[in-house]
Structures are given as C-alpha cells and as structure tokens.
Chain A
Amino acid sequence: MTSTQTAPSGSPIIVVTGLIKQFGRFAALRGVDASFDAGRLYAILGDNGAGKTTLLRTLAGLNRPTRGSVSMLGSKDLRKVCQQYGYMAHPSLLYDEMSGMENLRYFARLYGIADDQRCAAAIRAVKLDPELARPVGQYSQGMRQRMSLARALLHDPAILLLDEPFSNVDVRSAREMVGLLKQMRDGGKTIFVVTHQATLLEGAADEFVWMEAGQIVDRTPGLHRPGESPVPGQSPASSTEAR
C-alpha cells in the first residue's frame, strides 16, 4: 500500500488543457484551461449546468474528455494515479444495506487494503462510530455524507475531489466537515469542493474557482467577485439541463 506521495506545496498537481466534454448535442465543458497547486483547498462555484460536476468527474477519470487532456501528478493516464485521489459524489456511493464498517471494508479491498484498523480510523476521522451496526440506508443525510467522505479518505489520497459534500447537511455538521477539510489541507492534501453553499467555505478555501457555461471565468482568493452578486446559485437563470 503506497502512502500519499505529496508533491511539494506550491507546484502544480493538476494541469487541465483545452478540456472539452460533449454529451451528444450538449457541450458540458467548453475549453477549460487551468492548473491547480498542491496543498490548497479549491472551491468550485457556479450555477446549475455550468459544468462543475462534469469537470470534477473528468478529473476523477469517470468522464473521458472529448478533446483536451487532464494531467495529474504528471501523468495523463488517470488510471495510473488513481491511488492518489479520492472521489466523493453527490450520491453516497455506498451500499444502503450494509453497515458503515462493512461498506468500508469492501471498498478498502478495492484498494488492496485488508486492514480493519484503517477502516475504523477513517470512520473516526469523520467523527462517526465504527461500531455502529445500523445499515447506511438508515443513517441521517449528514451521517451518510460523512461516511461517504470516509470512503473517499480510506486510502489516504493526496487529492480529494468532493461533489456537493454539504448538500442536505445541517449547518452544524457542515461546519464540522469544513473544519475537517481545513485540517486535511493543512496536512498537505489538495482538495476540490464543488458546492452551492459557497459561504460555508469562506475563510477556509484558498481559492474560489468560478464556472459559467462550461468554462472557468474567474479565480479569486476571496468569495467576493467584482461586479457579481456575492452568493452564487441564487440567480434565477435557467439551467442548461432543462433545455
């Protein structure tokens, strides 16, 4: 089992060039060029249909780019570095009928880990109880999101790709999760958070990445963006998916 190979803080860990992703007639990403540095917490913001989730899934190797490329830790073949990133999606990516520990034990096997201690440690890291026998399907939304985060953390990846980790989570749990993310960032991990609740990350995120219509339109150190309403996701603009 490899431990995280942490790139020196400050050097680019992910480089995206000319990324285009088309779903049939619909282009979800239309030319994204960006580079992201190691050891930072990025918040990816934008309206529905701006391409946030597609970008994250492409970084995770779940979407094949129509054109352009993603290079992670210097490798363009994401399968080769898949030990190095953890992915958390909007759905839980867990089996509802199994307990948290049983779930993690199975997912650990996928990464070649057969060590209950590490699973338990991952569960404790998100402030849940590894002894909990209840199936994940009966968890509250907040608990399920945290268990889902534990699954993404299991193999101690250098990069975390998180899609809407705070949705349907009460404010207190969400703040706890943000604290946890900050802690992990300070521990050297690079973290990407796609979210609608940007205010939660104010003061925690190192950089806010603004997406619009399949492109990155702005990158700001703070949540305030000149000439724009400060809270995204509230504008009544129609979603592209609805067309």
Chain B
Amino acid sequence: MKKVFPILCVVTAVLLSYALYQALEVAPTEATMGDVQRIFYYHVPSAWTAFLLFTINLVASVIYLFRRSVKADIVALVSAEVGVVFCTVVLVTGPIWARPVWGIWWTWDMRLTSTLIMWLIYVSYLMLRRFSSSGQTAMLAATLSVFGALCVPFVYFSIWFFRTQHPSPVIGGGGSLDPRMGRVLLINWLAFLFFAFVVCWSRYRLEVVKREVEEAQAMEDLALPRSAR
C-alpha cells in the first residue's frame, strides 16, 4: 500500500508530460484561432475536474450530515479546496483565451457566469471552514454545501434567461470538434484527473495526520499532572 503513492506520482508526472506534448505538438493548430486555442486543452479538463470535485464535495457533505463520519468531512474539505484551485484555473485561462479570440476579456456568458458563481460559493465555503470554531466546522460546512447545491439550478436558469434578454458578443461555438483534438482533450483530462487525485490523496493524508496530532496533543495536555505544566 505504501508503494502505491510514489508509483501513482510517477504515473501522473509521465501522463502530464505526455499530455503537454500532445497538446502543444501533436494536436493540429486551429484554423481561425491559431495557437492560442491550445489553452483549450487546459481550460476544459480543469472545468470538468472542478465540477467533478464539487460533486464529490456535495456527496461527502450529505454523507457527513447523515453519518457524522470524520472521513466524509475530510473528503468534503479536500475536494472543495482542490476544486477551487481547478476552478480558478478555469476562470484565469478563460479570459486569456477570450481576449484574442473574441476581443474581450470577459462576457456574461452562461457558462462563464455560472462558473464564476460556483467559484464564489465554494470560496465562501472555504472561508466558513476557516473562520468557524473547531468542532462545529464540519457540520456548518456540510450545511452550506447543501445550500450551494440547491442554488445551482437557480444560477443556471436565471443566467439562461438573463442571457436571452441582453444581447451579447457573438461567440464562435457549435461546430464539431476535430477527432484528433478530441483525443488530445481526453488525454489531458485523464492526466488532470490523475493529478487531482494525487493532490487530493496527499492532502487527505495530511489532514488525517493533522487531526490525529491535534487529538493526541489534547489528550496529552490533560494527562500531565497540573504541576508539570
């Protein structure tokens, strides 16, 4: 079991380098957008990974509410943290791509806007975890996660309708994806998933150890006779 982690790290590193090579060299250059389109191979897999992690966060939170399992709480914490990082990547690479292609940094496009709101909700989730006094954090955070999930359909519908009322810059979309591009995209996503998993796993182990240390310290403090303190 101990060997699995380093092996996984190596596999992830190899996959990431391979995916990078694929994205920069193998994938064909897009006809109208040029090389800037290659950021797509980071943008989209990050988005998919982020949403997967947010889903995991919700599931873990619900499990925590029912079972009060510490493990579920740690999974929720870890998936939210890593999810926010990937979501940040999405929000940063999006404008970098948009600027040369659409001529603007930002547009109140459906996907962009809902990603931004998701990001805001999960940042507030992490803030809550940071600021609540320990012992209550897990419970409060799990509740907020459920509220965040309740919010998702409303975000979606409100922005969808908002968009239909206000004209927006034309976004080159539709059109089918070159199969070679699709393959590179999937390779990149696979690499990102491995990467996310490795990060989550090490963060998970760190958090488990941290909590064990805290508990041991608390017990030790009281085990000492008063005079020794």
Contact = CB atoms under 8 A, between A and B. Distances in A.
Interface of A: 22-27, 30, 47, 212-215, 237-238, 240, 243
Interface stretch (B45-53, B151-159, B215-223): B215-223
6 contacts: A22-B218, A26-B221, A27-B222, A214-B222, A215-B222, A238-B229
Q: Which of B214, B217, B226 has the most CB of A within 10 A?
A: B226
Contacts, number: 36
- The interface size bin for chain B is 10 to 19
A25 B226 contact: no
B226 A24 contact: no
B219 A24 contact: no
B168 interface: no
Contacts of A212: 226
B24 to A, nearest CB: 47
B134 interface: yes
B135 interface: yes
A24 B222 contact: no
Contacts of A47: 226
Contacts of A243: 229
Contacts of B226: 47, 212-213, 237
Given A212-B226, A237-B226, A23 B219 contact: no
A47 B218 CA distance: 18
Given A30-B219, A213-B222, A214-B222, A24 B214 contact: yes
A228 to B, nearest CB: 13
Interface in B191-229: 214-215, 217-219, 221-223, 225-226, 229
Nearest to B214: A25
Q: Which of B217, B218, B225 has the most CB of A within 10 A?
A: B218
B135 A27 contact: no
Nearest to A238: B229
A24 B229 contact: no
Contacts of A213: 222, 225-226
A47 B64 CA distance: 37
Nearest to A23: B135
B135 A24 contact: yes
Contacts of A23: 133-135
Contact of B135 (A22, A214, A215, A237): A22
